[in-house]
Structure 1
Amino acid sequence: MTFSIVGRCEKTGQLGIAISSSSISVGARCPWARARVGAVATQNVTLPALGPQILDLLESEQLMPDAALQRALSSSEWSEYRQVTVIDSQGRTAMFTGKEALGVHHAVAGNQCVGAGNLLAGKHVIDAMVKAFESTQGALADRLIQALHAAVEAGGEAGPVHSAALKIVDAQVWPVVDLRIDWADDDPIGGLDALWQAYRPQMQDYIVRALNPTTAPSYGVPGDE
């Protein structure tokens, strides 16, 4: 029903998630990230609360990812229905797939990343996703999206996917990238990629506008000077 990858850029310290699902609006429930803390994907029969719970444990109690993951899971009586992956600000990872995970499922930790999925065409889908992230050069967003493309090329889910999302945090308390395709009958990952390519040249402008409006570039709207 869902495949995702959480990752970290060793050069910039950015943390992010790319995810796709046959369900509607996967970006509303599954990807969670906090600047200089970590990134979490909570999927399968999704419990969104696990994302902020794990991030809180990483930040306030300075727990290692595996300890934070296990603590959060222990607070829920339905943990065996969950699939969760975690990466922290140092690139340390953790993952969990409960025994009630749907269909063919798999999770793999790679270099500065973790890929996971359920209701897959095969376990090799996640292997391909992690390999693509590790071998792709460039910005974290490009590497995460390429990993989604690789998953689809390897067979993807057992059925068609309909939504996709990309979330990235940097030094700011808000996400610098938070893009979603909530529903598409065909190729939501391609749509997400196109959305990122449109947003990429504007991303820094929005950061500048937030931090210091007096130095912000033109908004390009009527009345703007």
Structure 2
Amino acid sequence: MNKIITVFCLSLLMVFGALAQYNKENPLTHTYSIVAYDKTSGDIGVAVQSHWFSVGTVVTWAEAGVGAIATQSFSNPAFGPQGLALLKTGLNAEQTLAALIASDEGEAYRQVGVIDASGLAASHTGSKNIPAAGHLVGEGYAVQANLMEKETVWPAMARAFEDSEGKPLAERLILALEAAQREGGDIRGKQSAAVLVVSGKSTGKPWIDRKVDLRVDDHAEPLLEIRRLWKVHQAYEFMNQGDHAVEAGDFEKAGKLYERAEQMFPDNLEMQYWHAINLANIGEMEKALPMFKSIFKKDSKWKTLTPRLLDNGVLTVGEEDLKKILKQ
């Protein structure tokens, strides 16, 4: 049976090979990464950090309802699309990884992590990876690292992921990366990072299924920047939900959501402004007017924008209340 599966997988790779042929001039992305599954939400994710420019464009691959792949070391980027294609045929993570490795004459230089939509994970560290290099596979995750300062890097990642159960998957991925860095991380230093999370089941709408997609291509402290972007992402999720509530005419719900976003970033004028607009819409002018005054003082273009919101119903105040707003 195993021989049949191997032959089948190799045949599939010959078919899918035209999608993304390996180019020996591709980046040498020595790095640490994690592929993981959230058993509560069913979400699937992958995250990475490296001392290499734009590591997320090479290492991280994921598709809703299918799985996630990290391909690194002397990276074979073709493993991303080819691996996802194999998972789509019904192969699990272990079978997919075996097929990828069996098809690659340079497997000794590769490091790959794969997780499927059921949460089964698999990882490979070729014998010619630069030490410290290794991987660990646990329930719902795989961590892999090469060219590390110490051999404690990937075990620290595993512990961080396991100890953070119950948190959002993106948060757990970032915690794993941060744990790696505390152990010394990449011996060369830091440059770029990426976090990608997709839904466990596909809706056929990638703009919904791709839940988190954060990249830092070049930064002195990429993980600090990823952490900051994750916070911004969460705040704007509240903003987006508030906008949906406005579309549905539920201004009270929208106000609560806008306020939650604003609490996360109290100096963000965008969040303050839409919160103030919503307060005006529900008749809370005494609360809205001081907010408008503060916003307009800092940037008068928000005042210019305000009357433009009347015609499409985003601002629903009458003429007298509009005058009060514009006097601020």
TM-score (norm 2): 0.62
Counterpart code for 1:182: D
- SS of the residue corresponding to residue 71 of structure 2 reads strand
- Aligned pairs for 1:139-218 within 5 A: 139-170=168-199, 171=201, 172=203, 173-174=205-206, 175-185=210-220, 187-203=221-237, 215=248
Partner of 2:101: 73
- SS of the residue corresponding to residue 27 of structure 1 reads helix
| Shift of residue 205, structure 1, vs aligned partner | 5.7
| Shift of residue 103, structure 1, vs aligned partner | 2.5
- What are the superposed Cα offsets for residues 3-55 of structure 1, whole Å, 9 maximum, x if unpaired? 01111111000000111000010011101111111111000011111011111
Counterpart code for 1:189: L
Counterpart code for 1:24: F
- The answer to whether the aligner puts 1:58 opposite 2:87 as a matched pair is yes
| Shift of residue 207, structure 1, vs aligned partner | 8.3
Which of 101, 114, 123 aligns to 2:142? It is 114
Unpaired runs of 5+ residues, structure 1, are none
Aligned partners of 1:123, 1:58: CA distance in 2, in Å?
A: 31
Which of 30, 42, 52 aligns to 1:23? It is 52
- SS of the residue corresponding to residue 176 of structure 1 reads strand
Runs of 4+ in 1 over 6 A off after TM superposition: 216-219
Partner of 1:48: 77
- SS of the residue corresponding to residue 196 of structure 2 reads strand
- What are the superposed Cα offsets for residues 56-79 of structure 1, whole Å, 9 maximum, x if unpaired? 1111x2112111112123333222
Change (3 A) 1:99 1:204: farther
Structure number with greater Rg is 2
Aligned partners of 1:179, 1:201: CA distance in 2, in Å?
A: 14
Aligned partners of 2:129, 2:242: CA distance in 1, in Å?
A: 43
Aligned partners of 1:195, 1:109: CA distance in 2, in Å?
A: 28
Aligned partners of 2:101, 2:118: CA distance in 1, in Å?
A: 22
Instruction: Indicate conservation of the 8 Å contact 1:42/1:82, yes or no.
Output: yes
Aligned length: 222
Instruction: Indicate conservation of the 8 Å contact 1:50/1:73, yes or no.
Output: no
Instruction: Indicate conservation of the 8 Å contact 2:69/2:84, yes or no.
Output: yes
- SS of the residue corresponding to residue 94 of structure 1 reads strand
Counterpart code for 2:187: A
| Shift of residue 124, structure 1, vs aligned partner | 1.1
- Aligned pairs for 1:70-109 within 5 A: 70-109=98-137
Sequence identity, in percent? 34
- SS of the residue corresponding to residue 194 of structure 2 reads strand
TM-score (norm 1): 0.89
Higher alpha-carbon deviation: 195-204 or 13-22: 195-204
Partner of 1:127: 155
Which of the pair has the greater relative contact order for Cα pairs under 8 Å at 6+ separation? Answer: 1
Change (3 A) 1:208 1:2: farther
Aligned partners of 1:54, 1:33: CA distance in 2, in Å?
A: 10
Aligned partners of 1:166, 1:85: CA distance in 2, in Å?
A: 15
Aligned partners of 2:241, 2:126: CA distance in 1, in Å?
A: 39
Aligned partners of 2:130, 2:120: CA distance in 1, in Å?
A: 26
Superposition CA RMSD, Å: 2.5
Counterpart code for 1:5: I
Aligned partners of 1:154, 1:20: CA distance in 2, in Å?
A: 13
Higher alpha-carbon deviation: 61-70 or 8-17: 61-70
Higher strand share: 1
